[in-house]
């Protein structure tokens, strides 16, 4: 007979079987899991939440990932690319409202023009905020020298979601060609970490063909890679993607939501001091989904500060919430939500990953 969840939660290290047991938890065991992750979050992070003002500055993408609404092959999407001034105005809003940090996100493009543009924007964002605004980038796979240029220009965090660490599953949700290469994704994550970024990744939860063993493997990968931050959410299908043909194989949305909460809780238990995002996709399924994630382990929220007229066009999945809100609405709404989760928003701080700080100290001692 397998171990009880109660005995597993008393351990410091976990096997794949332990993780699957946690992912299977229901009823009282699920409550125990969430209690444990809440206690760990309280002890290592406190009841604090940090904002990253999200600027989705372009939905133009050079990739054709089979699950994604902004994939290159989606002809039903209105494409946009914010001007530099629009991006800087959004950054200024974040700075004036003491967000501490922003996140620049777009479709994946690689070119000298893209490299130079982002480098220039980073310098200007640092200039307008007197160096006070922290910057996370999430613009996909690039060559190491490009990552280094951006790091030197002031970006200090990078989120590159692996989506699945099972190579076989990864290949089922991406086209089979050089542009969608599993090994390159892993290599890019390693480059980011080596350069000195606070490095984040994440996975989609509830994909077609995905098993609990796959998700347990994802958690082990994040632990072994020693990530500093994680953004993971439920897979929500998009009508204009090839993966929609497998919609009949999907878990019900509520089950995908519940599995995501368990993944957040388990990751918090495994990696006590990393930053974990309460993703917007949670709110697409449950009106208070992000608050539930904050209660059991998440400590980062990303209010959308993209100019309103573009938000509907950055649709990675269907039923994306908050696309009609202004940046001001988004802020006050999230403040209210966070107080409901018995947490408080910390303003004027970068909210760096404590895990990263600890990892750097260990590295410096070597």
Mean pLDDT (whole number) for 238-250 = 95
pLDDT digits (tens, 9 = 90+) for 100-117: 999 999 999 999 999 999
Token pair in block for residue 346: 């910390």
The answer, yes or no, to whether residue 239 has pLDDT greater than 70, is yes
Mean pLDDT (whole number) for 303-313 = 79
The answer, yes or no, to whether residue 364 has pLDDT greater than 80, is no
Q: Which residues contact 123 (CB under 8 A, 6 or more apart)?
A: 153, 154
Residue 182 near residue 170 (C-beta atoms within 8 A): yes
Token pair in block for residue 354: 């404590």
Residue 229 near residue 351 (C-beta atoms within 8 A): no
Rounded to an integer, what distance in angstroms lies between the CA atom of residue 168 and that of residue 181? 12
Token pair in block for residue 150: 């951006």
Work out the burial of residue 230: count CB atoms within 10 Å of its CB; fewer than 13 is exposed, 13-18 middle, 19 or more buried. Answer: buried
Token pair in block for residue 270: 């495994």
pLDDT digits (tens, 9 = 90+) for 57-74: 999 999 999 999 999 999
Q: Residue 350: which of 155, 135, 202, 201 has the closest Cα?
A: 135
pTM of the complete model: 0.95
Residue 54 near residue 290 (C-beta atoms within 8 A): no
- Distance (Å) of CA 135 to CA 51, 125, 280, 352: 12, 9, 19, 11
% the chain with pLDDT above 70 = 93
The answer, yes or no, to whether residue 366 has pLDDT greater than 60, is no
201 pairs with which residues across the strands?
230
* Beta strand spans in the chain (E): 48-58, 101-106, 134-138, 157-159, 198-201, 204-205, 229-230, 233-234, 275-276, 300-301, 344-346
238-252, 282-296, 332-346: range with lowest mean pLDDT? 332-346
80-84 contact pairs (CB < 8 A, 24+): 80/310, 80/313, 81/57, 82/55, 82/57, 82/58, 82/306, 82/307, 82/310, 84/117, 84/120, 84/121, 84/124
- The CATH homologous superfamily to which domain 35-365 belongs is Aldolase class I (3.20.20.70)
Rounded to an integer, what distance in angstroms lies between the CA atom of residue 36 and that of residue 121? 42
pLDDT digits (tens, 9 = 90+) for 252-267: 999 999 999 999 999 9
The answer, yes or no, to whether residue 322 has pLDDT greater than 70, is no
Rounded to an integer, what distance in angstroms lies between the CA atom of residue 142 and that of residue 160? 10
Token pair in block for residue 129: 């905020």
pLDDT digits (tens, 9 = 90+) for 175-210: 999 999 999 999 999 999 999 999 999 999 999 999
At residue 202, the pLDDT reads 98
The answer, yes or no, to whether residue 279 has pLDDT greater than 80, is yes
The answer, yes or no, to whether residue 237 has pLDDT greater than 90, is yes
The answer, yes or no, to whether residue 336 has pLDDT greater than 90, is no
Mean pLDDT (whole number) for 75-99 = 95
DSSP-assigned letters across all residues of 84-133: HHHHHHHHHHHHHTT--EEEEEE----SHHHHHHHHHHHHHHHHHTTT-S
User: What does pLDDT average to over the chain?
Assistant: 93
**3-state DSSP assignment of residue 232:** coil
Mean pLDDT (whole number) for 139-154 = 98
Q: pLDDT band at residue 308, thresholds of 50, 70 and 90? A: confident
């Amino acid at each position: 007979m397998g171990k009880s969840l109660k005995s597993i939660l008393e351990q410091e290290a976990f096997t794949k079987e332990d993780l699957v047991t946690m992912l299977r938890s229901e009823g009282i065991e699920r409550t125990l899991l969430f209690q444990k992750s809440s206690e760990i979050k309280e002890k290592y992070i406190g009841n604090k939440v940090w904002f990253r003002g999200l600027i989705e500055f372009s939905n133009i993408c050079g990739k054709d990932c089979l699950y994604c609404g902004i994939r290159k092959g989606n002809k039903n999407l209105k494409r946009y690319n914010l001007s530099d001034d629009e991006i800087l105005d959004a950054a200024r809003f974040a700075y004036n409202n003491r967000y501490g940090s922003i996140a620049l996100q777009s479709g994946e493009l690689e070119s000298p023009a893209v490299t130079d543009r982002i480098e220039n924007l980073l310098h200007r964002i640092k200039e307008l905020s007197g160096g006070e605004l922290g910057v996370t980038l999430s613009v996909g796979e690039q060559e190491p020298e490009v990552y280094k240029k951006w790091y030197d220009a002031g970006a200090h965090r990078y989120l590159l979601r692996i989506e699945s660490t099972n190579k076989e599953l990864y290949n089922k949700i991406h086209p089979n060609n050089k542009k969608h290469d599993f090994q390159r994704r892993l290599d890019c994550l390693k480059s980011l970490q080596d350069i000195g970024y606070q490095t984040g990744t994440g996975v989609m939860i509830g994909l077609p063909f995905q098993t609990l063993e796959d998700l347990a493997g994802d958690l082990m990968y994040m632990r072994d890679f020693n990530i500093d931050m994680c953004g993971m959410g439920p897979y929500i299908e998009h009508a204009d993607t090839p993966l929609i043909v497998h919609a009949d194989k999907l878990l019900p949305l509520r089950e995908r939501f519940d599995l995501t909460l368990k993944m957040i809780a388990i990751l918090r238990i495994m990696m006590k001091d990393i930053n974990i995002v309460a993703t917007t996709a949670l709110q697409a399924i449950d009106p208070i989904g992000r608050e539930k994630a904050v209660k059991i382990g998440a400590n980062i929220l990303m209010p959308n500060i993209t100019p309103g007229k573009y938000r509907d066009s950055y649709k990675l999945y269907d039923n994306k919430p908050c696309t009609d809100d202004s940046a001001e609405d988004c802020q006050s709404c999230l403040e209210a939500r966070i107080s409901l989760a018995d947490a408080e928003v910390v303003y004027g701080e970068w909210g760096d990953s404590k895990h990263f700080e600890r990892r750097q100290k260990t590295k410096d001692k070597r």
